[in-house]
Structure 1
Amino acid sequence: MSRELHAEGGNPAYPPFQWCGDEEALELYALGRLSPEMEEQFDEHLLVCHACQDRLEQTDSDIATMREMLAQRQPAAGGLQWWKHLIPSFTPRPVWAGALALFALAAILVPQLPLFQPAPVDVALSVVRGTELNASAPGGAPLRLRIDLTELPAHDRYRVEVVKAAGGVVLSSEAARQDDHLLASCEGMAGGSYWVRLYAPGTGGQLLREFGLTVR
């Protein structure tokens, strides 16, 4: 190697990052033979250098292979296991290996995180002089239906149903009364015509109101 490396107890002979790609330096690092100062600099370098990460992985693999070969040639049980002194035990460097583990964990978890959900669009379903007014809403956006309960029989809860004009139930749920209205949440819907129906609570409850809803 063109530059001198100091083993544990000495100081590095050159400034950080100049050993990038240096096979002998990587081998000493893998064997834990570098000084603490130089090992720390190597840790920092390996966090950002993928080429050295790959070389270190290969170096670790080569050392493990040699240890396995020497183990197969060891003397009979009880004999002197001289080969253990040739290649010291080593462990993966904690800093860069830990960082890679975090990156891998993030790659697994991020796709499973819930995607950003836009705020629901408020849609007022009102009654004017006893007539239910049609309403409109943007397609694909979550909706919060605000249904007018003026002059209706007082119940603690009501059943809300959203159906396509061509048939097919989109939403069927119960919602609690809030003064003179109730709020019902609905997932985003495709463009088209829908009916929002309000029933008295319970299965088979009386139809109280029906609003037209156009999704654009």
Structure 2
Amino acid sequence: MKLRLPVLGALFLLGAAASLLGDHFHVSTLTTAYLDRAHDVPFLWDSPIWFPVLVGAGTAGLADLRLRLGAPRTSVEPRYAVGGIAAVLGSYAFTTALGGFPDAVSVTLIAAPAVLVWCFIGDRFAVVCGVLAAVVGPAIEIALVKADVFKYSPDSDSLFGVGPWLPPLYFGFGVVASVLGELAVRRPPAATQGQPART
């Protein structure tokens, strides 16, 4: 483990909170709907309690993985995280309007901002985190759909029952999580930096 438990806890809470907002986008627009089996557990806002737990754990886990892959960059700034989170949440919201679009169009509309997020704030290690999220995230959702836990609307379920734009959406999430890991261990410049040397 590269990150301290309090930091992992903070990243978990951040990911969980963001996931509740994103899931609200989908549920409130009927892009997704939870079925009877999902209601066997308590709900938090529009989501079964395990949903923010999974996303929060994924956020913390990917952040920690990034630091295991290589040394963090010294150039990472807090605005990278703010911009990345905004881009992913904006893409999440945008997916609610893509029902009925050809898959090539909807996937491109979500893949483009995901790639731009990586270009502006990510590095080569962020690609690993992004690809891992793009594979594991949709796979979990597909398994839950097959288990009749929830469903996507008929105009947004062409990827084995889930949205075709899920892989690029998760890729962007993975990139941002990796940057959060770097930011979590960022050290402020030394207090004496820029001051004239003592004689």
TM-score range, shorter-chain basis? under 0.3
Relative to the length of structure 2, the TM-score reads 0.24
For the pair shown, the structure with the greater C-alpha radius of gyration is: 1
Relative to the length of structure 1, the TM-score reads 0.22
Q: Which one has a larger percent strand, Structure 1 or Structure 2?
A: 1
Q: Which one has a larger percent helix, Structure 1 or Structure 2?
A: 2
